[in-house]
């Protein structure tokens, strides 16, 4: 293969090349480098569109080589029912940051799903109770599936409650994940009841109003709020945010587009109330969980360095496998 050419990778190829375990390791390294201030702050641009939005996220990481990646994602929550298309569509371009050469162009939805779930797994590793065995997932789409797969890598899960506004989707999710992971997965109609019996909760929806209040979660829970990546999206009530220790992926970004944004707007929190960014905890600069009773929220809005790390790992695996799907754009 001509290594001066740019690799082209489809969604299925990304899935074949990047295991969840590898993605978690890559994302943890990205957070550690960011927490150690060995990586520049990533950039983000969000643009609204008709019934959807576009996100552009970019960043640099020095790994085996110096990488730059930019991701352009379209997020259209009504795509399934309107057009039969995925909610998330887009591309990641990975470049050599020493000379700017495009190394790879890859489909972004698989990268996004895996790196988002990997971030939850990294956060759970440091913030959930070590023996956490019961998980509730709110939102049984592609991201919900990825979340369970990732958490099963770092926690001793033995049962999962699956909640979705579409009961049939939750039932299909339960059957698929139970067969795949060999653990008990049950579709439920009562989200609050499930969470009160859980060690860990994940919300991964497109909701624009709070799904949970402070009365819906038990002491000691680790809760990852994944869905809010736009100022109008919201999954957690402001009082719930204020009642918990909040860890952000990127604090200022969460204050702009995450559930933290709504807590600040409601006056229940200030930016200074955030306990830490995840990178600071991974790097050992700030403590994680201090007691079994602490309620901890991970406000996950998606950091561009996660995309760089996941794309770089995918690219390096492709080179090692002798991948030959490439094009010379400069020809």
63-78 in b/e burial notation, b at 16+ Cβ within 10 A? beeebbbbbbbbbbbe
CA dist 227 and 144 (Å) reads 10
CA dist 249 and 120 (Å) reads 10
* 142 CB-near residues (< 8 Å, 6+ apart): 86, 88, 109, 113
Question: Tokens 């299909």 appear where?
Answer: 172
E strand intervals along the chain:
6-9, 43-49, 52-62, 66-75, 88-96, 102-107, 134-138, 159-163, 184-187, 200-203, 208-212, 222-225, 234-236, 245-248, 276-277, 296-299, 326-327
CB of 220 closer than 8 Å to CB of 270: no
Tokens representing residue 236 in the block: 């957690």
Which are the catalytic amino acids? 71
> In terms of C-beta density within 10 A (0-12 exposed, 13-18 middle, 19 or more buried), how is residue 187 classed?
buried
> In terms of C-beta density within 10 A (0-12 exposed, 13-18 middle, 19 or more buried), how is residue 41 classed?
middle
Tokens representing residue 205 in the block: 């929806």
């Amino acid at each position: 293969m001509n290594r001066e050419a740019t690799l082209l990778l489809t969604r299925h190829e990304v899935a074949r090349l990047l295991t969840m375990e590898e993605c978690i390791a890559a994302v943890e390294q990205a957070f550690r480098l960011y927490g150690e201030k060995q990586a520049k702050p990533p950039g983000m641009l969000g643009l609204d569109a008709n019934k959807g939005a576009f996100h552009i996220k970019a960043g640099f990481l020095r790994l085996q080589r110096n990488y730059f990646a930019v991701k352009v994602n379209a997020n259209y929550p009504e795509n399934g029912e309107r057009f039969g298309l995925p909610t998330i569509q887009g591309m990641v371009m990975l470049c050599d940051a020493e000379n700017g050469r495009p190394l790879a162009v890859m489909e972004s939805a698989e990268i996004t799903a895996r790196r988002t779930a990997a971030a939850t797994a990294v956060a759970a590793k440091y913030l959930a109770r070590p023996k956490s065995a019961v998980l509730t997932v709110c939102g049984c789409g592609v991201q919900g599936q990825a979340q369970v797969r990732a958490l099963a890598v770092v926690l001793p899960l033995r049962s999962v409650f699956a909640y979705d506004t579409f009961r049939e989707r939750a039932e299909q999710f339960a059957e698929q994940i139970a067969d795949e992971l060999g653990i008990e997965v049950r579709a439920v109609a009562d989200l609050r009841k499930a969470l009160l019996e859980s060690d860990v909760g994940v919300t991964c929806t497109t909701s624009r109003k709070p799904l949970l209040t402070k009365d819906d979660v038990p002491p000691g829970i680790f809760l990852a709020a994944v869905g809010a990546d736009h100022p109008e999206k919201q999954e957690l009530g402001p009082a719930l945010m204020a009642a918990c220790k909040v860890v952000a992926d990127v604090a200022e970004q969460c204050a702009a587009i995450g559930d933290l944004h709504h807590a600040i707007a409601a006056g229940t929190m200030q930016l200074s109330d955030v306990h830490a960014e995840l990178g600071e905890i991974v790097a050992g600069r700030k403590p994680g969980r201090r007691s079994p009773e602490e309620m901890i929220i991970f406000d996950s809005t998606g950091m561009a360095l996660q995309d760089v790390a996941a794309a770089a790992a995918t690219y390096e695996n492709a080179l090692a496998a002798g991948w030959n799907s490439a094009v010379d754009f400069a020809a």
